[in-house]
Amino acid sequence: MSTTAILFPGQGSQTPEMRDLVADLRPDLLEQVAEIVGEDPFAKADEGTNYAQPAIFCASLAGWESLGRPDGDFMAGHSLGELAALVAAGALQERDGLELVSLRGRLMQESGEKAGDGGMLALVGKGAADHAAELADGHGLSVANDNSPQQVVLSGARDALPGAAAAAEELGLRAIDLPVSGAFHSPMMRDAVPEFEKAVKNVKISEPRVKVLSAVTAAPFDDIAAQLTAALTNPVRWRETLLALHELGAERFVEVGPGRVLTGLVKRTLRDVELVSA
């Protein structure tokens, strides 16, 4: 049997039908997330990260449930998906994971609103990953998401984005201003760190049943609390994480949903692997 990596998606993967999946397979999660967030986050998942993150977390666990809760040989999550992966692997209790992802979404939303001038710019096209660092450094931005060889996201002060976009277009890349409330995965999220760090240090963390790779280090988690906290201000090294999984022997990649974003990124990054979506 092929060595399998189970992948848990991040923000931007939300779909209109994901609430129905949770209602069918994990109605208990609907009750818990509404209690923790203060309202049903699914109806507002497109309005802010404070709603999107807990909704996608619940839908991801429901998607995992639909496949029979497979462990696979490895797990990994994109941004907030790391919390779902750690819950699935038994490193975090489910209720703790839900509370952490809800807090994370709220803190990131508030941090972005407090800063007031942060934004994100997606760069798409051949060579995007090769040019990401020079474009970021040249315009005072950070590489927030290294998603695939053809897709990266820059993050930082909103008034720096037009110059970076123009420079990217001169290189033949397509630049897309993302509709977000802040400069996620950059130093501009530092106000979110203290409260989240305190919360994650106060939950029980166990040894995961399978290796879970951190998208901060592109290697198996070795300090879960520290690396989950670092993920707020550090880039999502997803391309490198996929390459690391493949080097560890993964030949089959299963995205548990919602959406098919990660499946597309695997397809653009790796060759001759099997792709499965929940």
pLDDT at 257: 82
Is 186 tagged catalytic?
no
- Are 59 and 22 contacting, i.e. CB atoms less than 8 angstroms apart? yes
- Distance separating alpha carbons of residues 5 and 7, to the nearest angstrom: 6
pTM for the model: 0.96
pLDDT tens profile 164-185: 999 999 999 999 999 888 999 9
Retrieve residue 213's tokens: 């790779």
In CATH terms, are 4-114+186-277 and 117-178 the same topology? no
Percentage, residues of the chain above pLDDT 90: 94
Bridge partner residues of 254 (DSSP): 6, 276
pLDDT of 227: 98
- pLDDT tens-place string over residues 79-97: 999 999 999 999 999 999 9
Question: What CATH architecture applies to the domain 4-114+186-277?
Answer: 3-Layer(aba) Sandwich (3.40)
Q: Which of 78, 131, 139, 185 is catalytic?
A: 185
Q: What pLDDT is stored for residue 115 in this prediction?
A: 83
> Is 148 designated active site?
no
Lookup result for tokens 């070795």: 222
Q: What's the confidence (pLDDT) of residue 210? A: 97
SS3 string, 261-273, reads: HHHHHHHHHCCCC
**What pLDDT sits at residue 143?**
98
Q: What is the pLDDT of residue 142?
A: 97
- Where are the domains positioned within the chain? 4-114+186-277, 117-178
Q: Exactly one of 79, 102, 181, 186 is catalytic; name it.
A: 79
Q: How far apart are CA 259 and CA 42, in angstroms?
A: 14
At the fourth CATH level, the homologous superfamily of domain 117-178 is Malonyl-CoA ACP transacylase, ACP-binding (3.30.70.250)
pLDDT digit string (tens) for the chain, length 278 residues: 789 999 999 998 999 999 999 999 999 999 999 999 999 999 999 999 999 999 999 999 999 999 999 999 999 999 999 999 999 999 999 999 999 999 999 999 999 998 889 999 999 999 999 999 999 999 999 999 999 999 999 999 999 999 999 999 999 999 999 988 899 999 999 999 999 999 999 999 999 999 999 999 999 999 999 999 999 999 999 999 999 999 999 999 999 989 999 999 999 999 999 999 87
Question: Is the distance from CB of 274 to CB of 2 less than 8 angstroms?
Answer: yes
Rounded Cα distance between 118 and 233, Å, is 13
| HEC-encoded secondary structure of the chain | CCCEEEEECCCCCCCCCHHHHHHHHCHHHHHHHHHHHCCCCHHHCCCCHHHHHHHHHHHHHHHHHHCCCCCCCEEEECCCHHHHHHHHCCCCCHHHHHHHHHHHHHHHHHHHHHHCCEEEEEEECCCHHHHHHHHHHHCCCEEEEEEECCEEEEEEEHHHHHHHHHHHHHCCCEEEEECCCCCCCCHHHHHHHHHHHHHHHCCCCCCCCCEEEECCCCEECCCHHHHHHHCCCCCECHHHHHHHHHHCCCCEEEECCCCCHHHHHHHHHCCCCEEEEC
